[in-house]
Amino acid sequence: MEANDSEFYKKIGFLCGIEVHQRLATKEKLFCSCSTGMPPLSEKPIASIRRHQRAVAGELGSVDLSAQYEEFKDREFTYNIYGDNTCLVEIDEEPPHELNKEALSLALAFSKSLSMEIIDEFQVMRKSVVDGSDPSAFQRTILIGLNGSITTPEGLKVMVQKLFLEEESSGIESSSENSIVYNTDRLGIPLVEIDTDPYIPTPAAAKSVALAIGMLLRISGGVQRGLGTIRQDVNVSIRGGARAEIKGLQELDLMDKFIMNEITRQMKLLEIKDELKQRNPKIHTPKDITEIFADTSVKIIKTQLAKNGAVAGFRLEGFSGLLGKEVNPDRRLGSEISDYAKAAGVHGIIHSDENLDRYGFSDDEKANISKALGLGKNDAFILIAGQKSQAMKAASLAVGRAEACMEGIPLETRGVANTDLCTTRFLRPLPTGSRMYPETDVKPIGATKEMLDSATANAPDSAKEHGRLKAQLSSAALADSMLLSPRLGLYKRVASSLKIDSSFVANILLQKFTELKRSGFDVDSIPEASVMDVFSQYADGSITKQAVDELLKALSSGKRDVPGLVRELKLERIRGEKLLDLVNSTTKEAKSGQPDEVRRLIMSKYRLNVDGSELNEMLLGEAKT
């Protein structure tokens, strides 16, 4: 499979659309006045609260399937609360404030640059999220624009169906069997979601569309940058298959590989379906077969039984050999079924296509399993160990997934299983429309003429931006790379707010950053505010060009206080009178007293503190007098 073989993708009925989620760089959150800047990793939460959630009926009376499913998991959610980043609104203890106008105007500007039709009256909706990532059990979201398009640098035009303005969810701190700990610092940061139509022709094109959308957003200067501030979801299906939504791809480079693996997975599952058609398969009801394992030496079972646990097992008639069939690198049909079982809180499943001897099953046990489940030679079986109710719950979920093999492929939301292998795993069933209901605490907002005019004026335009960069920067090549750079926004902020040579800034942000990254410095972790501080120290003459490098190195190890670092690393620039004193004293000490020697002596000692050109001027002046 090649990422750009459009004939092949046409043949298999490939459908693919992407969703780009990008955090906005507004001052405040979408529905409250909390800071959108993330606290340093070292900051401890000021408090934590614990909550439970339930599925509730939506506006049209039905409870959404995927919401119900998550509830099934019976989890407790802990929310960490941060001083400047969490108020009562995020933790669902106070109604939302008014919609953030700055965020709305950015979303409108993006809609305009994507040539979208803008909705007349924005209705704030609640989208049920019962994975706990929102303490209110819903995410607020607004449909802003419809039916636009974007053209990639390769000239491919793709329809952009929808643009939403919504709240960022909480970040997962940790998760265990029955509880998840979330950080609420990022919860409620404004986010735009941009969805294309499902007709992106190839996996390679999907990657290129994602790049083009990302560039347009960055040009606006109104978006956050850094790890996790932009992420892509991909929807993929092939003829006869089913839509799978792969969530949270952060490495754009791997997007095409993930898509190709999803295609393979669906093809393999269709092969299994076809094979099953020949076999007259049937999934039997799970049984409690704990008693077989009274004296077992199978470790997984033994530990559960020691905790008063149970073993559930069921027969998959006609499935012999299929559970072990590989559907993706290092993933078999058994792994697909196991994902479902795990949702009930068990560690996984044991199935008949695995090496049972390695688990430690005795021959007696194997015979007893066969007897208890009534296995024939074309059959397979699945065992699940856990607390009794948990094991039975897990078994019924596994039965559901196994039954789906005969129908084809279930509609699923999937997440990354293994980044290196570019494989995914089942997260939950695909949500449906019934998860949406109106946010009654916020009034609908009409799109006014002023809003739309200002959106048109502020719509990011990549051609114009390129022109501006070319005019500012010394070389066209530098302008080209700056346009594509994730640091474009930062560049624009530095260039517009400080009196500083634009090309110097661009060179630092492009070449210097790449160079430092290659040498192992984690420059991506430096917050924009700190980079800004460095340039401002340089702009007001407090440090030299050479000191900029040193500061970036120090900042990439997690330090934040730039003025402090300047003192600590002794990077204060020596200039004016002080430099003159230094020149005079060095001249006296120097053997020859010639400017060249003085320069060499000073620079060998004060390379980071002395600006070469200022020193030259001074030496030339000295020489003249």
- Interface residues with another protein (CB under 8 A)? 49-63, 67, 71, 88, 91-95, 117, 119-123, 125-128, 130, 135-138, 141, 143, 146-147, 164, 432-438, 440, 443-446
Pick the closer one to another protein by CB: 3 or 56.
56
Of the candidates 433, 435, 434, 415, the residue with the CA atom closest to the CA atom of residue 425: 415
We find the least distance from the C-beta atom of residue 185 to another protein, in angstroms, to be: 17
| 583 neighbors 615 (Cβ within 8 angstroms) | yes
Residue from 364, 368, 357 nearest 313 by CA: 368
* Max CA pair span of the chain: 107
- Going by C-alpha positions, the residue among 341, 332, 352 that lies closest to residue 396 is 341
CA dihedral 513, 515, 519, 521 (to 10 degrees): 0
Least separation, in Å, of the C-beta of 248 and another protein?
Answer: 20
Residue 84 DSSP SS3: coil
Q: Which is nearer to another protein, 256 or 439 (CB)?
A: 439
Encoding tokens for residue 318? 């006609």
Q: Which is nearer to another protein, 119 or 394 (CB)?
A: 119
Cβ distance to another protein smaller for residue 56 or 156? 56
Q: Minimum distance from CB of 565 to another protein (Å)?
A: 39
C-beta closer to another protein: residue 10 or 443: 443
**CA proximity to 422, closest of 257, 266, 269, 263:** 257
CA distance 585 to 579: 10
Cβ closest to another protein, residue 449 vs residue 499? 449
CB of 310 to another protein, least distance (A): 22
| Residue 91 vs 337, nearer CB to another protein | 91
Q: How far apart are CA 349 and CA 73, in angstroms?
A: 17
Beta carbon of residue 76, minimum distance to another protein (angstroms, whole number): 8
Instruction: Report the C-alpha gap between 404 and 399 in whole angstroms.
Output: 9
**CB of residue 406 to another protein, shortest distance in Å:** 28
Please state the closest distance from residue 308 (CB atom) to another protein, in A: 18
What torsion do the CA atoms of 256, 261, 264, 266 make, to the nearest 10 degrees? -100
**Closer to another protein by Cβ: residue 56 or 254:** 56
Angle, in degrees to the nearest 10, between helices 488-497 and 476-484: 120
CB of 147 to another protein, least distance (A): 7
